[in-house]
Amino acid sequence: MSARLAGRAAYVTGGGQGIGQGIALALAAEGAAVLVGDIDLAAAEACAADIRGKGGRAEAMRVDVTKAADTEALVARTEAAFGGIDIAVHCAGIVSVCEVADLAETEWDRVMNVNAKGVFLGCKAAVPALRRRGFGRIINIASVSGKDGYQGLAHYSASKYAVIGFTNSLAKEVAQQNITANAICPGIVRTAMWDILADEYKASGETREQSWQRQVLAFVPQGRPQTPAEIGDLAVYLTLAPSVTGQAINIDGGLTSH
């Protein structure tokens, strides 16, 4: 087992399942200690237990990324558990499908709060800790929906465009402090989020599985989805790439080209 992140400490929000879990496992496999944060404590604990079962170092904590007190507590707990923070991954996110004319103001707020404000609050809490460490890798999970719009996803897309602009601006603020900040833009990954989307985009008479397969073939030039493990590999790469900063990197099988 390689250990290119031995001695590094990370936290991952939304680390209880899906892409966040893939990132937590990938960082841990390279030797990083990982604090798994999620609003679903049982899921976070299961992920941390999985890492420990493989010989890694991990703890779990309940965190609601829309609450500043929670993101500050996550940073404090990671520093207390592992002696500092090197890698801050903000992956918690939610989706819903609704066209603009029917979109409730409360639903706009709900999605923006988790996906955009949650990233802001995480970074605001993490930056002072990374400055103390004299090293930092900030990884914010955006989406191909942060590069192009999709029908029924205006609010989700707006939240992901926000993550990309925010991350690019933050990268410039911390560029001379040995801290990088990048966004990852996954394409289509089969997680609980895509259970929701496959159901929402079902054609009449289609099963969720048939809808899922149709979306993958319609959108992804490679004709196959991406995996949480692949997103985890890209996160590991970004932790090892001192000159890559301010980027929003697509990992989408050719779906987006800008």
- The residues that touch ligand NAD, with contacts defined as CB under 6 A, are 13-14, 16-20, 38-40, 43, 63-66, 91-94, 114, 141, 143, 186, 188-189, 191-194
Alpha helices in 117-205 (DSSP H): 118-133, 154-174, 192-200
- Biggest CA pair distance of the chain: 57
In whole angstroms, the minimum distance from the beta carbon of 133 to ligand NAD comes to: 23
In whole angstroms, the minimum distance from the beta carbon of 191 to ligand NAD comes to: 3
Give CA–CA dist 202/92, Å, rounded.
25
In whole angstroms, the minimum distance from the beta carbon of 39 to ligand NAD comes to: 4
CB nearer ligand NAD, residue 40 or residue 79: 40
**Degrees, nearest 5: CA angle 5-123-93:** 90
Q: Look up 201 and say whether it is catalytic.
A: no
CB nearer ligand NAD, residue 43 or residue 85: 43
Residue 140 parent element (H or E):
strand 136-141
Given 11, 150, 156, 237, the catalytic residue: 156
The residue type at 83: G
Contact indicator for 139, 88 with CB cutoff of 8 Å: yes
CB nearer ligand NAD, residue 32 or residue 36: 36
CB nearer ligand NAD, residue 115 or residue 133: 115
In whole angstroms, the minimum distance from the beta carbon of 6 to ligand NAD comes to: 26
Give CA–CA dist 8/85, Å, rounded.
7
Count helices and strands (H / E) in the chain. 9, 7
Neighbours of 164 (CB within 10 A): 20
Task: List the catalytic residues.
Answer: 156
